[in-house]
Amino acid sequence: MKIYHLSHTDLDGYACQFITHFYFKNVKFYNSNYGKEINDNFNAILSDIEKDENFEKAIILITDLNLTLSQCEEFNKICQEKKIKIFLLDHHQSGEECAKKYSWYLLDSKRSATKITYDFFSKICHCDSELSRFVDVVNSVDIWLNEDKNFELGKVFLGLIANAKEINRVMFKEMQVYYMFFLLERARKFIDKENSNVLLDNATHFIKKDFFTKDRDDTLANLISNFVVEKLSELKGDFTIEYEGYKGILTVNIGSTSIIGNDFLVKNPDYDFFVDISSRKTLSFRANGKIDVSIMAKNLVGGGGHKNASGGLFSGYKDSANYNYIKAQFLDLIKSKELKKENMNATTNT
């Protein structure tokens, strides 16, 4: 049996996955906001299930996300056809109509999704007192029990996850989830301590440094940059693109483009350029002397800048949580410009 667990991108969503990970080890995690992103993740899950030799034992678990009726109808039909078990644990009242129609849609608006998930699995497996206390902290802030003893610590939990932007969830999905687990595991050690909320708030910076520190101490910013460059170097085959015979890498919302882009090109001399695309449709181009990215930016999106650092706006870009979809858009952009150039040359020659 393998569980494919889709959850929300906030404290409650990651805490649900933390609980699933506590009880089961054969789990693959996905995270989503609402709308089309849920469908994109569901399709990604189906693709992963089909690649699994034991796909007939697959279970799709959705937590802290309420679906629309059309999504329920689509997911239900597909799961029945493929004989995949599906169940949803949620607490958003807006899913009431779905819960009434589908038996696999379990809804309780009086508990956080984290508490629903814990209560569900603890009955099937076993109770755990320490995990239960962790659940109480998340529950207190998620359903806003401001008189609860755990509420102030819950607020720090909330901020800890909301501000954990260090690892890109589009490019490094698995690592990003386990980073959240690391933070939650460290955070729950503060439960029951005196002034626990203040202690955790003070310790947050050092908890993050513990995750990113390897050989030597450094500033958190440098540690994160080194980590990202290392991961990009490990996975560069997945992110590689080509432009007019030059080899480059395409990233998404990577942040600190000048530092990370330059560090990556220095550590990977076989690459000629670095491009990052943001949710705001902006493109950041970086090079290390092998290609003039100001010309590249101009040719692709009418942008410009310096030889080794330029930018532009990809007006036709559609943001997504699916890296392959984003990469396909950029490759289509390159191809369209190449075809336009070929047509212009053909017209000139005739």
Determine whether domain 236-349 maps to CATH 3.10.310. yes
Look up tokens 């009242």; give the residue: 93
Continuous segment of H or E residues that includes residue 250: strand 246-252
What is the rounded CA–CA span in Å between residue 297 and residue 83? Answer: 48
Query: Judging by DSSP bridges, how do beta strands 105-107 and 2-7 pair with one another?
Result: unpaired
Domain boundaries, the chain: 2-165, 236-349
CATH topology of domain 2-165: Rossmann fold (3.40.50)
Asked whether the CA dihedral 215, 218, 220, 226 is positive or negative, the reply is: negative
2-165 and 236-349 in the same fold: no
Q: What is the pLDDT along the chain (350 residues), one digit of tens a residue?
A: 899 999 999 999 999 999 999 999 999 999 999 988 999 999 999 999 998 876 668 999 999 999 999 999 999 999 999 999 999 999 999 999 999 999 999 999 999 999 999 999 999 999 999 999 999 999 999 999 999 999 999 999 999 999 999 999 999 999 999 999 999 999 999 999 999 999 999 999 999 999 999 989 999 989 999 999 999 999 999 999 999 999 999 999 998 888 999 999 999 999 999 999 999 999 999 999 999 999 999 999 999 999 999 999 999 999 988 899 999 999 999 999 988 877 777 666 65
What is the rounded CA–CA span in Å between residue 26 and residue 20? Answer: 10
Long-range pairs for 151-158: beta carbons < 8 A, 24 or more residues apart: 152/197, 153/190, 153/191, 153/196, 153/197, 153/200, 155/197, 156/187, 156/197, 156/200, 156/201, 156/204, 157/11, 157/184, 157/187, 157/200, 158/10, 158/11
Look up tokens 């181009």; give the residue: 285
What is the rounded CA–CA span in Å between residue 89 and residue 66? Answer: 9
Is the separation of the CB atoms in 2 and 27 below 8 Å? yes
Instruction: Select from 109, 111, 108, 107 the least CA-distant residue to 99.
Output: 107
What is the rounded CA–CA span in Å between residue 100 and residue 177? Answer: 32
Q: Say what the pLDDT of residue 55 is.
A: 63
Two tokens, residue 10: 């906030």
Helix residue ranges per DSSP H, the chain: 11-23, 36-51, 69-82, 96-101, 113-124, 129-142, 151-162, 173-187, 196-212, 220-234, 236-239, 257-267, 293-301, 323-349
Q: What is the pTM for the complete model shown? A: 0.91
Question: Running DSSP on this structure, what letter comes out for residue 322?
Answer: -
What is the rounded CA–CA span in Å between residue 24 and residue 121? Answer: 10
Amino acid identity, residue 13?
A: G
